[in-house]
């Protein structure tokens, strides 16, 4: 049975979306990730987050699949990418949690909502909001 990834709002090292990226890698490797997410592995938010961290997605994937806790993987990210401080966390979270709201991605968000039968949901202003509802969780 396939599953959706965990919420994009989950945090690791203070960063939103990182636990979701790790979750998608693990679920995909076990054959449990819903097919809707396959084409975006390492792209979109995954790719932007890896770029922000100064990491190659494939290297992160290899590390995740080698095992270990999220905290151990976070330590690896800090050792092999760029060091992240509280300002970096503020910048990433500000970008990620608002993506799709009044930016160049708004048109993509609206298309996704329409394709999912959620075009009427004017409360879904960001991709994170959209993911929550599209994946069956209550909106925040």
Helix spans in 14-69 (H): 18-29, 44-53, 57-65
Q: What integer pLDDT is reported at residue 140 of this predicted model?
A: 76
Residue 91 lies in a domain: no
pLDDT of residue 30 exceeding 80, the answer is yes
Question: How confident is the model at residue 139, as a pLDDT?
Answer: 78
Long-range contacts at 58-65 (CB < 8 A, ≥ 24 apart): 60/21, 60/25, 61/25, 64/22, 64/25, 64/26, 65/25, 65/26, 65/29
Mean local confidence (pLDDT), 67-87? 97
Mean pLDDT of the chain: 97
Same domain, 12 and 75: yes
Query: 64 and 118 share a domain?
Result: no
The answer on 72 and 3 residing in a single domain is yes
Q: What domain count does the chain have?
A: 2
Chain segment 83-117, per-residue pLDDT in tens: 999 999 999 999 999 999 999 999 999 999 999 99
Are both 61 and 119 inside the same structural domain?
no
pLDDT of residue 1: 84
Q: Quick check: 49 and 21 in contact, CB under 8 A?
A: yes
User: Does the pLDDT value for residue 62 go beyond 80?
Assistant: yes
Domain that holds residue 16: 1-83
pLDDT tens digits for range 3-13: 999 999 999 99
What predicted TM-score, i.e. pTM, was given to this entire model?
0.95
Instruction: Provide CB contacts within 8 A for 85, sequence distance 6+.
Output: none
- Residue 94 is assigned to a structural domain of this protein: no
Domain edge (last residue) among 34, 58, 83 = 83
């Amino acid at each position: 049975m396939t599953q959706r990834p965990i919420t994009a709002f989950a945090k690791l090292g203070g960063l939103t979306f990182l636990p979701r990226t790790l979750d998608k890698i693990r679920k995909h490797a076990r054959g449990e990730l819903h097919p809707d997410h396959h084409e975006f592995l390492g792209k979109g938010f995954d790719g932007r987050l890896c770029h922000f961290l100064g990491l190659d997605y494939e290297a992160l994937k290899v590390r995740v699949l080698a095992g270990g806790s999220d905290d151990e993987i976070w330590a690896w990210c800090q050792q092999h990418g760029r060091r992240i401080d509280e300002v970096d966390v503020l910048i990433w979270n500000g970008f990620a949690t608002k993506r799709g709201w009044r930016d160049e991605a708004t048109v993509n968000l609206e298309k996704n909502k329409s394709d999912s039968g959620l075009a009427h949901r004017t409360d879904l202003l960001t991709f994170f909001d959209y993911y929550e509802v599209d994946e069956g969780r209550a909106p925040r």
